[in-house]
Amino acid sequence: MTETVLNCDKVQKFRGDIQVLKDVSLAVPSGARVALLGHNGAGKSTLIKSILGLIPIEGGQISICGHAPGSNAARADVAYLPESVAFQNALTGRELLTMFAGLAGIRDNDTSGALARVGLAEAADRRIKTYSKGMRQRLGLAQVMLGRPRLALLDEPTSGLDPVSRHDLYAIIDALAAEGTAVLIASHALTEVEAQTDRIAILRDGSLVADDTVANLARKAGLPIILKVQTKASDTADRIAAETGGVRVNGMSVEIRCTADGKMAALHNLSGMGAEVADIDITPPGLEDLYRHYSGVDQ
């Protein structure tokens, strides 16, 4: 039984005359990992700051486990990792976490556990000044994990990290979600979030234009699947292109675009051509195509 941790209902926010959030409704249940995508300026950070209660909203409602954003109860339930997080460099990692634990009202001995979980046990007593970018980001994640939050808001958690660090970071996020924390990740790294999240929400100009699993989004978008057919000889390529309604790409291959439902029929047709077809590559629409579709780049 999962409960809804974060519930945004028709949230509206204005900056001067410009509406930066338009009726955004988004629910995140416990244990779910939801990616929040969108261009720079689409409203991702504004939405996150609204959920944190750092800025007021002008319409709609946000509730975190039933509490208003910014209330002490909500702040105790929410953990936040800001984009390109920075800390007081003169402190050590352990001292910083001790301060955060004190602010959150958690006993000190939890800090060692959090530091060990993000792999900073050895560097715990070194000054943050000496930390690499990846270590700082992990320290940021350590403070997220303090006190087992109900909701974790991560703004670009992997920006500037190397692939190994990214992998480690997502392993920690997975563990967090497995313990029942609802995780909302704002990101630009499309391929990453495709593999690492359960659901994708896309903001465009302040409106939520998509909120579903990648598979469902692909079905709804009706984006074509691309079949790339390698032929044995160049003259057959022209013939296959003509018969299947595809396009000849270069001398020996043909590209056929078909819908998800039309894929089997097209494959059946191709297999009937026997030895003239050397090979077939099937490319389903990726998240990048979906993102371009929903965020309006193609229009």
Nearer to other proteins, 111 or 196 (CB): 111
Question: How many Cα atoms occupy the beta-carbon half-sphere of 147 within 13 Å?
Answer: 23
Going along the chain, which residue ranges are E strands? 4-15, 18-29, 33-37, 59-64, 78-81, 151-155, 182-186, 199-204, 207-212, 225-231, 247-250, 253-258, 277-283
C-beta closer to other proteins: residue 104 or 190: 104
Q: What is the DSSP letter of 89?
A: T
- Closer residue to other proteins (CB): 143 or 158: 143
**What is the nearest approach in angstroms of other proteins to the Cβ of residue 158?**
17
Number of neighbouring beta carbons within 10 Å of residue 199? 21
Residue with tokens 């660090």: 165
d(CA 86, CA 148): 22
Q: What minimum distance in Å lies between the beta carbon of 71 and other proteins?
A: 9
The residue among 64 and 223 lying less far from other proteins, judged by its C-beta, is: 64
Contact 252, 237 (CB under 8 A): yes
Interface ranges with other proteins (CB under 8 A): 49, 52-55, 72, 75-76, 78-82, 84-88, 90-91, 95-96, 98-105, 127, 140, 143
Beta carbon of residue 70, minimum distance to other proteins (angstroms, whole number): 9
What is the distance of C-alpha 102 from the center of its chain? 31
- Nearer Cβ to other proteins, position 76 or 273? 76
CB of 130 to other proteins, least distance (A): 13
Tell me the closest approach of the beta carbon of residue 111 to other proteins, in angstroms: 12
Packing angle between helix 110-117 and helix 133-145, nearest 10 degrees? 130
Taking each helix axis from N to C end, the angle separating 263-271 and 234-244, rounded to the nearest 10 degrees, works out to: 140
Closer to other proteins by CB, 123 or 240: give it.
123
- Cα separation, 6 vs 50, whole angstroms: 12
The minimum distance between CB 88 and other proteins, in angstroms, equals 6
